A and B are shown apart, each in its own frame.
Chain A
Amino acid sequence: MRRLLLLVLLPLLSLLSTSASAATLVVDVRDARGAAVTEAVVYALPVGRQFPPASRTAVMDQKNRTFIPHVLAIQTGTAVRFPNSDDIRHQVYSFSSAKTFQLPLYKGTPANPVRFDKSGVVSLGCNIHDRMSAYIVIVDTPHFAVTKNGRTEIASVGAGRYALHVWYPEMKDAPPPVALTLAATDTKALTVTVRK
């Protein structure tokens, strides 16, 4: 079993801030060779407190036999709609313990979105298209983002102590979280190196 090592380097450079009341985190996720890790979910869990579940709605579209996006991060309690933009039917399912469900073969948008009440990773599949795969990462925080070309930015993070977690699709073992203490107006830039 491979051991993943997460290194968090705190740069000494000043960080740019966009809001006076909230901090902003700029995170680079790199692998051991320094390559950008895309579609990695970066999220900051508050230490010593909890956020109430969200009641928002997100969308996991299916277009050209592909789930879009491939990685969808949501806060616990968010309902996700699974519109089918293809002409053909799909049967979306999850056997993941965070949320087990299935949407029998359908076209268009099902009437009811699926609510994810439990944090965790849901691995999505389509029963008639084995190749279709997507992840819904349910986190107990509204502070999350998905990297694009290895970088993402989490804005409007309230001051306080956080544990910064990273998840990405090929991850075997979760790297240890990075502890952060944020001031109100901090803009922190950090790089997370993961061992793939």
Chain B
Amino acid sequence: MNDNDTSVDISALRNEQPRFTGIESGHRACLGCGEALAARLVTEAAGPDVIYANATGCLEVFTTAWPESAWRVGWMHSLFENAAAIAAGMEAALKRQGKATKVIALAGDGGTFDIGFQALSGMLERGHNVLYVCFDNEAYMNTGVQRSSSTPHAASTTTSPSGEARMGKRHLKKDIVSIVAAHHIPYAATSSVAYPSDIRKKVRRAMAIDGPTFLHIHSTCPLGWGHDGALSIEVARLAVQTGLFPVIELERGSVVSVMPIRRVRPVTDYLSIQNRFRHLFADDDQARVELEHLQALADHNIEVYGLRGEKADALDSEGANTVQRGGMQWA
């Protein structure tokens, strides 16, 4: 028997949800889209007094299938490369008008790491009061999974296919948060869609700062990464728990806090459930080397950022998602 209560007036209930809804249902994201979830969590934490500038990318496309829009807040899209510039302009105009409305720029890894990189750098250098959020799904997913400078080493994409010559992408993932933090901005942080409370905490923190802030959210892509949509959170969680995606906070260029990993998992736990890394599990010498290479990259992250948890902690990789009856853990 399905315990779903059919006597409930669903559309009335939708209008009285005890959370701020910045993005509505009916958007066209794929099943289990990590970016759609991450974007909603950001809008929820940022609240209604916000205007968004959105770069070209999945988020822009799946939320605005003309003549509809999933957005319930002020939102603008111009081009792929200029989300930071548009946000900077909006912020300057609002400042001139004496309004306290916050501006948030939204972009994917392509619009941040590659195409919108100089606009982002300019916005940071000019000190605009903008929160720039990058939803990192590690390739150009909207156009068919082409590699970006965020694509991790050894991942197979349509433009870095695994084959005889090479095991997926030859190059390394760009360390964007260090580059951004090097602009000496007040706050730059990474987070993961697997830890909604961490995203919320960091959005609120950034919203309270008058100046450029940057939030980099690791967002799973079932289509591009090759995993079942049901596993989106599982995969994102393993990226954190293996050390491949460090969750850190930087102020004025220095690391001020990290999410400790209580039980460090081997990278194979993360890699083996994604088709983009499937070639690494072939009976092949080069594959074995690349697996060790990815493990070494995770070990390096753990060492550089001091990610290994010393003792149980309510904010570590195990404690940050512990459930409680009544749901308070996500607040």
Same assembly: no
